[in-house]
Structure 1
Amino acid sequence: MPTSRRSLLIAAGATAPLLLAKPAPARAQPDLSTPEGWLNWVSAHRDAIGLAIDDGRGHRLAHAADTPRPLASAVKVLHLAAYAEAVIARRIDPDERVRVGDWERYYVPTDGHAHANALSQLGIPADSSELYAADPEQRVALRDMVSMMLLFSDSAVPDFLRDRLGAHAVVTAGRTRGWWRADVRSLCAEYLFLALPETAPPPRLPVAARRAWGFALERRYRDEPALRQRVRDWRLHQPMPPLPEQVAWASSTAAGSPRELDAVHRALASESDPASTLAREHLEAPAAGGALPPGVDGIGFKGGSLPGVVTAGASVRRSDGTIGTGGLVAHDPAARGELVTSNPAALLLPAIRDARWRDRLGAALGR
């Protein structure tokens, strides 16, 4: 069963890629915006993909489900869960009016125009660069920032939330839902490591030390206008690093497994506590404005992509009370640019909803 047009739009808005230095060379390759294209790609790249799918009706498909690979923006489901818990506990106010300039203190313009799209969606005029707000004194509701994190994958929002709530709150929100040791890093810092290589930690630094290095760099970026201006000047006047450097960098970013993604999406889709309910409302909002497939009450989705990386977590709540979920993590450095422009919903949602298509996917995986 093909995904609905609305499902494809969900993915298009939720997996904003890193800007590439230049388009990948033209070559024959599967169309990764379609289920059939994904089947062809999977059959040729079995070692590059991990899946954990549970249709909620007794059928599962797992392939390298516990193998960690780079997560890209799919990790933001944890920031969403932590935000929802903080709202319910009254530690944060969703109606708080946040100064746009404070939001942009975490913004590194390497996000495929995700932040610019978020500003446009919120009716905030951009400056002449078309990357930043023209008036940093404008205010936006925190709940709307969270919506932009999901709809356009704005990467400044999760850092804003994590800095406000603490990394422990984000890790704990995952742990209580089956993601035991989430590698919650500063996305801002990870992008800075690529944009300004001199700020990057030494090679082969242990993960915990790299994470601490990143938090310290993020605080500098947050508090030093001169450093933010330096990055702005770089983005406006310098090309992005060559694609091979981007691919190598993406391989060093925070990792997680399909099973962990699946566990969190299942918990948020099925649990009735107020925090999970609030998070579910955010996850399902992009699909709620369109016609859902027959028998489906809600579709939650959060994807991500970087050069050589595409990821997604999804849930499908049905009218009969069953809930299907899935996690997908693919990492193929040789794929270069094509995974960035792929649509993971075209692979994941049919596999959750349709037994025949799931069987075909299993066959493509050699199962």
Structure 2
Amino acid sequence: MFNRGLLLLLAMILAGCGAMANQPTTSSTNPTSIPTIFVNSTPTMVASTPTLAATNPTTAAITPTLEATNPTTATISNPQSGEEVLAFIRQNPSNVSLVSYSTNSDGSINNADPLIEFNAEQPLPLASTMKIVILASYAQAVEAGTLDPEQPISLADWEAWYWPNTDGGAHPAALERLGIPADQRGFANDPAQTVPLKTLAQAMIFESDNAATDYLIDRLGLPALDQTIKDLGMQQQTKIVPIVGLFLLVMNPDASIDATSMQSLLELDQASIEQQAVALAERYQAEPEWRKATQDQTELKLDLAQQSQVFDHIMPKGSAGDYANVMALVGNNQLISPAVSQTMREFLEWPMTIPGNETMFTHFGTKGGSLPGMLTEAMFIQPAQGEWADRTKVVVLFFNQLPDQTWLGLMQSFMQQQFAVQLALDPAFAQSVASELK
């Protein structure tokens, strides 16, 4: 593991991830007794973004944690260092995508530095990383004048999309950061209170609030999101639909999925998943009594491995290559227009508000996500010191179908994030990884 001289990564996965938080809030979970993990203790579409201490990246040292073993040959089930993450990737190549490179000022690849493109075009489920696309569409609408970021939005309208206990506490965390009193389930005490529309975009990225995300999807419209995907040049991105609709495919109060019935869900094609998710989301909005019955649903009848299989099938997918290109362009103010890029950076660069990060980074923008068996990270980083000072680096890392032990371990150690940032800060490590994954 990196010593404190490089990375003291403190990722907020279970209780939001904005500047309000400064350490992991992951609860201990036993993988042998997890029938309700989805609604009680598993982060669902919650950002997993690092908080980095201001320290000297040039004094890092890697300390292996497996005694008397070689991480390139030993079976790695719970990586505890950057080297072991690399070994895990080599041992499990089919469910990992990794892209990392330096950029030129126009966002193109700078071939002078190590280039890593491992399964770069393989579509994998995205979890909350897909919210980068929604943010881009929001930024386009703001630039076009079709959305006013200062428009007052009632909390009632925001929370019409909220489903308690399915977002890892993201919505309650957003309200807490905003100083809005809420009840024990996370609903605002005063639903008539308003916030500016831009606050919902902020909550979508800072805390990874699913209700804010679905409100924005509804306001933007699915055709606008489809067009944004085209505008971004994303070749592998599937259609983005309301998150609540996707969750309702699994936890419909009329017919919740269990181990026996899950096969019918796994047999749905992409078009059917999208159509049913949209219809369920519309029903969630149109029928308040049914929405309440849904919100009272408290049990998911699938174990962790089954949840991983289901979400792998139903979630929108994209490639690390596509997301690296988007983050490279945003990080250089070249995505669609400088105004769109700057609007996106206003939200993505929340780590720069953490005291001390300004000594390590000139810029740091990120959006991650987590679902059972799934961890996704997309970053652009401009180091403030070291060999790569003031050079924009891009790292995108997608894990899917992780074994239970590995997923639960990474949810507590956040080692995948340390690995990603190490690639952006440590030229020797980046070159080593590039060589290993050729």
TM-score normalised according to structure 2 size: 0.73
1:169 to 1:204, Cα distance in 2 relative to 1, 3 A = same
Q: Is the 8 A contact 1:21 1:239 kept in 2?
A: no
| Aligned match of 2:99 | 52
1:14 to 1:67, Cα distance in 2 relative to 1, 3 A = farther
Q: Is the 8 A contact 2:95 2:399 kept in 1?
A: yes
Displacement of 1:304: 0.5
Displacement of 1:248: 2.0
Deviations 1:45-82 (A, max 9, x none): 33321111112242211111111111100000011111
What SS does the corresponding residue of 2:381 show, helix, strand or coil?
A: strand
What SS does the corresponding residue of 2:296 show, helix, strand or coil?
A: helix
Matched AA of 1:250 = F
1:60 to 1:366, Cα distance in 2 relative to 1, 3 A = closer
Does 1:358 pair with 2:430?
yes
Q: Is the 8 A contact 1:308 1:340 kept in 2?
A: no
| Aligned match of 1:271 | 333
1:22 to 1:297, Cα distance in 2 relative to 1, 3 A = closer
Displacement of 1:208: 2.1
Match of 2:241 among 153, 172, 185: 185
Counterpart CA distance in 2 for 1:30 and 1:102 is: 42
Displacement of 1:296: 3.2
| Aligned match of 2:278 | 215
Matched AA of 1:30 = N
Matches within 5 A, 1:331-342: 331-335=400-404, 337-338=407-408, 339-341=410-412
Q: Is the 8 A contact 1:87 1:94 kept in 2?
A: yes
**Higher RCO (CA 8 Å, separation ≥ 6 residues):** 1
1:42 to 1:293, Cα distance in 2 relative to 1, 3 A = farther
Counterpart CA distance in 2 for 1:139 and 1:249 is: 36
Counterpart CA distance in 2 for 1:178 and 1:144 is: 28
Deviations 1:135-171 (A, max 9, x none): 2222222212211111111111221111111122223
What SS does the corresponding residue of 2:376 show, helix, strand or coil?
A: strand
Q: Is the 8 A contact 1:20 1:243 kept in 2?
A: no
What SS does the corresponding residue of 2:121 show, helix, strand or coil?
A: coil
Q: Is the 8 A contact 1:171 1:181 kept in 2?
A: no
Counterpart CA distance in 1 for 2:95 and 2:236 is: 23
| Aligned match of 2:367 | 302
Tell me the number of residue pairs that the alignment of Structure 1 and Structure 2 aligns: 358
Counterpart CA distance in 1 for 2:86 and 2:205 is: 26
Q: Is the 8 A contact 1:8 1:346 kept in 2?
A: no
CA radius of gyration, larger in: 2
1:221 to 1:21, Cα distance in 2 relative to 1, 3 A = farther
Counterpart CA distance in 2 for 1:21 and 1:151 is: 24
Does 1:322 pair with 2:322?
no
| Aligned match of 2:46 | none
Structure with a larger share of its residues in helix: 1
Aligned CA RMSD, in angstroms, stands at 3.0
1:14 to 1:174, Cα distance in 2 relative to 1, 3 A = farther
Q: Is the 8 A contact 1:313 1:326 kept in 2?
A: yes
| Aligned match of 2:297 | 234
Bigger shift: residues 164-173 or 76-85: 164-173
Counterpart CA distance in 2 for 1:128 and 1:48 is: 38
Q: Is the 8 A contact 1:266 1:325 kept in 2?
A: yes
Counterpart CA distance in 2 for 1:217 and 1:139 is: 27
Counterpart CA distance in 1 for 2:256 and 2:157 is: 22
| Aligned match of 1:174 | 229
Counterpart CA distance in 2 for 1:307 and 1:340 is: 10
Displacement of 1:240: 6.5
Matched AA of 1:124 = I
| Aligned match of 1:24 | 31
The percent identity for this pair of structures is 26
Counterpart CA distance in 1 for 2:28 and 2:300 is: 6
Deviations 1:302-356 (A, max 9, x none): 0001110000110013566532112111112433642544534212121122221
Q: Is the 8 A contact 2:236 2:319 kept in 1?
A: no
Counterpart CA distance in 2 for 1:246 and 1:290 is: 38
Counterpart CA distance in 1 for 2:153 and 2:30 is: 36
What SS does the corresponding residue of 1:106 show, helix, strand or coil?
A: coil
What SS does the corresponding residue of 2:398 show, helix, strand or coil?
A: strand
Deviations 1:184-235 (A, max 9, x none): 1221111122222727885422212321221111111012111221122213
Does 1:144 pair with 2:190?
no
Does 1:349 pair with 2:413?
no
Displacement of 1:174: 3.1
Matches within 5 A, 1:60-209: 60-109=115-164, 110-129=166-185, 131-180=186-235, 182-183=237-238, 184-196=240-252, 198=255, 203-209=266-272
Q: Is the 8 A contact 1:287 1:299 kept in 2?
A: yes
Counterpart CA distance in 1 for 2:369 and 2:359 is: 27
Q: Is the 8 A contact 2:367 2:379 kept in 1?
A: yes
Displacement of 1:92: 0.8
Counterpart CA distance in 1 for 2:143 and 2:216 is: 15
1:185 to 1:342, Cα distance in 2 relative to 1, 3 A = farther
Matched AA of 1:193 = L
| Aligned match of 2:38 | none
Counterpart CA distance in 2 for 1:157 and 1:279 is: 16
Matches within 5 A, 1:245-260: 245-252=306-313, 253-260=315-322
What SS does the corresponding residue of 2:228 show, helix, strand or coil?
A: helix
